Structure 1
Amino acid sequence: MSTTQSERLRGLLEPLVSAADLDLEEIEVSRAGRRRVLRVIVDSEDGATLDACAELSRVISQQLDESDAMGDEEYVLEVSSPGADRPLTEHRHYVRAVGRLVRFQLDDSGELVARVLTVDDEGLDLEVPGVKGRKPTARRIAFGDIAKARVEIEFNRKDKKQEEEA
């Protein structure tokens, strides 16, 4: 996809996504046989619901039909959320991960799995789970020390509503 088309699509879609109170995470155009696939990945503080993605898909489809941003070739539009295993790359991703268990690949000291407690402009305050009955420990890491980070899926994790009720 040319930079020009990417910029045009982002310029066309960003206001539509923002109007739906969502964040535009990614735009990708790829080939699937004779057709192209336009994937629009969106998210929000509370996550992107199926209904929000469906409504946004209708709005985007209408806007694309009225413009020439995708050219004359056939394409398939997919609007979805990033999924639980997407990498954390933006400050807002870390903010949304507060309370979650995250696997960090650190630049200097290998790997770390810890719960995100707080996020500020410089880095994260973490709670590293204790091993073999030991108490959890606190740790601070700077954003510059993180090579990669992904949320770990927890099947027995309490959600925010359960924590507030407890």
Structure 2
Amino acid sequence: MPKQIENLAPADAAAFRTAISPHVLAVLDPQLSALDSRLDALESAMAALGGYIINIPMIGTASAGEELTLHAVGRAFTIPANFGSGSLEVIKGANPTATVDVIIEKTTDSGETWSTVGTISVSTSGVVTATTAGGAAINFSKGDGLRPKAPATADATFANWGFTIIGVS
């Protein structure tokens, strides 16, 4: 009667695993390669669409300097200079009492250090202007991070806004 793997002595179990591993890999390797190809095709299709989307919801009011989201970049993209070319979409909520700035920060070292790369300003009448550091395009690479932060001073009336950054490939 054949032994079940649970009943094998440790040396027998190790021998069984060593013997079976090449066979399992022979079956799984083509499937894993096919999955890699599909993922590559999906990434290429997304890049061909020309956009990289980052949603920044602000539900309710935010605390002073609150991190609105943390985004790990999945593929390279660029935010055009001063958020040009339709790279910022906005859903307006309640206007602030005084003009506020939502700060956009970037990290290239997994969050050890952050630098300000852009600002989205909202006036008391709800007019939105956006600028990038130095008026230049901001490039992101796979693995970088993007962190939008609420205004440094909390505004009790600035609430329920939504921002979407649309990067280009």
TM-score calculated relative to the size of structure 2: 0.24
TM-score calculated relative to the size of structure 1: 0.24
The structure with higher relative contact order (CA 8 Å, sep 6+) is 2
Q: Which has the larger radius of gyration?
A: 2
